[in-house]
Amino acid sequence: MEIGTYTEQEAMQYIRENDVRFIKLFFSDAYGTIKSISIQPSELERAFASGISFDASAVKGFFGVTKSDLFIVPDPSTLSVLPWRPQSGRVVRFFCSVRYADGSPFEGDTRRILSDFVEDARKKGYEFNIGTECEFYLFLCDSKGGATLEPFDDAGYCDLAPRDKGENVRREICITLEQMGVHPESSHHETGPGQNEVDFRYSDVLNAADNLQTFKIVVKTIAAKNGLFACFLPKPLKDKPGNGLHINISLMKDGRNLFAGGEMSGEAQSFIAGILRRAREISAFVNPIPNSYERLGEFEAPRYVSWSCQNRSQLIRIPASAGDGARIEYRAPDPGANPYTVIYLLLSAGLEGIERGEKLPPAVDLDLFRASKDEVSSLDVLPSSVGEALEIALSSDFIKRVFPGVLLDFFSSTRGDIRDPELGAL
């Protein structure tokens, strides 16, 4: 049985026949931080039928103490063994939906929101492929095992061992991911000292977001196993490149990639135009913490709302590719973002662009990191702080229309007063 194809009965059969002793149920808070409840195999049938309760008041973006009972229900198709745990008495995990006691969906469940959107888009004739590129730093630990900001090596972009000391760690990360049914496309040392990148082959929307969540857990686990500290903060080191999370999107209609071919179709152009139109309004969720805004505008991280082909100084670039690989790349997000929310908002803005027949502005074929003030004077600029980004989001009719009220109320209550997570806690 391939990973990703299990039904409830098949999942329970797998657990009975493969010495599984422990089950971890994953769900995400409003920021995309993975939360987990562990159950014994004897409880799995009940989990599928009615869910496992938890204290929602203790989860960021969910309810207060006056309405605190919610339930998580495992998605059987996401069954995967955790390879780093003992093979005798195995541990598996499921991603879960969040529901009320009566079984109705919780409005703030970002994974469900993305899944529902994909179904609605499919009814309109549109499907998507998503590929992600995620960067992270490897830092040394001190004598007590605590995190430091001393890079694991001083290698640069695509350097080799022995200068690249992260080669074996990346190898172990990629092998572990493959054992879990997640397929990396490539990996390499990035530009910063101790900085690494793993890129993923495109997949369907929900799997792409789930895989990114799995990736973060695997990276942190394998790094710790090797006595290292994995950091996903957007800008952990001053004057060094930040960590980006580039989102690659292919738009499909009637089985045809609308970005393929010599010239983009009108729908493809409107899709890009829709994302550009809403870029400032979604920034609070694409770049959700104060540290995010220290990354933008340098070391190939975008600052302006613009697009071009192959140009890495743009917010949206169209990489050189052909056939099924034709896509756009959105370069603003960082690993602090909730992947379900980011992908949902990007696709929602793009489809709105198609529905409104948005016109794509001319490409900006400039190096925007070296362009003069006159050359960029007509371009919109991304917000410069999370506070500014939230103000823009909270006044956006688009955000109010597509974003669930329970989550919008939560982000509104923060008003930009969002504490940076502890280093590496993303």
Each residue's pLDDT tens digit, 365-416: 888 888 888 898 899 999 999 999 999 999 999 999 999 988 888 888 876 5
User: Which CA distances in Å does 179 have to 5, 98, 190, 230?
Assistant: 15, 27, 24, 20
pLDDT for 144:
87
pLDDT bucket at 285, cuts 50 / 70 / 90:
very high
Give percent of the chain above pLDDT 70.
94
What percent of the chain is helix, strand and coil (3-state, nearest 5)?
Answer: 35, 25, 40
DSSP-derived 3-state class of residue 229:
strand
Dist. CA 265–CA 85, nearest whole Å: 48
Dist. CA 172–CA 55, nearest whole Å: 35
pLDDT for 337:
94
User: Would you state the torsion angle of the CA atoms of residues 304, 307, 310, 314, taken in this order, to the nearest 10 degrees?
Assistant: 10
Dist. CA 378–CA 375, nearest whole Å: 7
Q: Which DSSP letter does residue 56 get?
A: G
pLDDT bucket at 3, cuts 50 / 70 / 90:
low
Whether the link from the prior residue into 383 is cis, omega within 30° of 0, is no
pLDDT for 62:
86
Q: Which residues contact 32 (CB under 8 A, 6 or more apart)?
A: 110, 213, 337, 338, 339, 340, 341
Q: Which of 28, 32, 156 shows the shortest CA–CA distance to 96?
A: 28
Q: Which of 376, 358, 335, 200 shows the shortest CA–CA distance to 278?
A: 358
The string of pLDDT tens digits covering residues 318-366 is: 988 766 778 999 999 999 999 999 999 999 999 999 999 999 999 998 8
pLDDT for 5:
78
pLDDT for 322:
62
Whether residue 300 is predicted with pLDDT greater than 90 in this model: the reply is: no
pTM for this entry:
0.94
Q: Which helix (H) or strand (E) holds 40?
A: none
pLDDT for 410:
87
pLDDT bucket at 419, cuts 50 / 70 / 90:
low
Q: Which of 21-25, 299-303, 368-372, 412-416 shows the lowest mean pLDDT across its residues?
A: 412-416
Which segments of 19-166 does DSSP mark as H helices, in order?
44-50, 110-123
Geometric angle at alpha carbon 212, from 353 and 327, rounded to 5° = 40
Domains of the chain: 8-106 (3.10.20.70), 117-414 (3.30.590.10)
The string of pLDDT tens digits covering residues 62-96 is: 876 556 789 999 999 999 999 999 888 999 999 99
Whether residue 418 is predicted with pLDDT greater than 60 in this model: the reply is: no
Whether residue 417 is predicted with pLDDT greater than 60 in this model: the reply is: no
Main-chain phi, psi angles of 365, to 5 degrees:
-90, 65
pLDDT for 1:
44
What integer best gives the mean pLDDT of the chain? Answer: 92
Mean of the pLDDT values across residues 248-257?
Answer: 92
Dist. CA 37–CA 71, nearest whole Å: 11
Q: What is the DSSP string of 341-374?
A: HHHHHHHHHHHHHHHHTPPPPPP--S-TTT--HH
Give percent of the chain above pLDDT 90.
78
State how far Cα 52 lies from the chain centre: 25
Scan for tokens 């390499």, then name that residue: 188
User: Which tokens belong to 195?
Assistant: 């900085």
